[in-house]
Amino acid sequence: MFRERITMISEIFRASSQVVYKAVDGATKEELTWKPAPESRPIAEIAAHIIRVDLHFLKKMGYVPAFEAPKTGDEHALKSAVKKTEEYVLEILNGLSEDSELMKPRPSEIAPEHESLDHILPHLSQHHLYHLAQIIYLRRALDRKWKSPVEDWEKTTYIIGSYLHPKATAALRDVP
């Protein structure tokens, strides 16, 4: 029974979720709803979008969580939803007995036949990191002294890199 890929995807998804959580942590209602321009998305909308996309893809795969993405700019609701989504995905992964289950196509009415958890979950982790940069940019625009979770972002990229090129990045996995 091999679970190497399940372990890898779990570790990457956990790290990419936790860094989004930290980027939202401590933000005020004003910071979460501030727009640098009228057509821009505020942090709250970006964070809710991340959660909404995660849940959308999980539903496409036949997994229906008992919660929704928050509709408010409330820090606690956003953080709670990020955490619940992370826990839900890890619960799904922990329920798989071997890597072959991860790679099994899970067609549904709204999903193409080729999609599997192995395909979707790394995509979602990358989606987290893409929007993380936007959240950090907006928080720093509002408060240049805000300490961004850049170390956590770096650790996440090292985790990803260590799986892509294990020999070259093995020493970097323990970077603080």
Please count the structural domains in the chain: 1
Residue 149 and residue 41 in contact, taking contact as beta carbons nearer than 8 Å: no
pLDDT tens sequence across 9-61: 999 999 999 999 999 999 999 999 999 999 999 999 999 999 999 999 998 88
Burial class (CB within 10 angstroms; exposed 0-12, middle 13-18, buried 19+) of 166 = exposed
* Averaged pLDDT of the chain: 89
pLDDT tens sequence across 54-68: 999 998 888 989 999
Q: How far apart are the first and last CA of the chain?
A: 32
pLDDT tens sequence across 125-174: 999 999 999 999 999 999 999 999 999 999 999 899 888 876 655 555 55
Predicted local distance difference test score (pLDDT) of residue 119 = 87
**Cα distance between residue 96 and residue 99, in whole Å:** 8
Q: Which of 18, 19, 154, 20 is nearest to 90 (CA)?
A: 18
Predicted local distance difference test score (pLDDT) of residue 105 = 83
Predicted local distance difference test score (pLDDT) of residue 3 = 92
3-state secondary structure of 108: strand
Token pair 């002294």: residue? 145
**CA 138 → CA 9, 121, 152, distances in Å?**
28, 26, 18
**Cα distance between residue 74 and residue 80, in whole Å:** 10
Is pLDDT at 112 greater than 70 in this prediction?
no
In the predicted model, what is the mean pLDDT of residues 106-111?
A: 65
Residue 48 and residue 70 in contact, taking contact as beta carbons nearer than 8 Å: yes
pLDDT tens sequence across 73-105: 788 999 999 999 999 999 999 999 999 999 888
The pair of three-digit structure tokens given for residue 163, joined into one six-digit string: 């799986």
Q: What's the CATH code of the domain at 101? A: 1.20.120.450
Q: Which domain holds residue 92?
A: 4-174
State the pTM of this model: 0.88
Is pLDDT at 1 greater than 90 in this prediction?
no
3-state secondary structure of 111: strand
With b for 16 or more beta-carbon neighbours within 10 A and e for fewer, the 18-52 pattern comes to: bbbbbbbeebeeebbebeeeeeeebbbebbbebbb
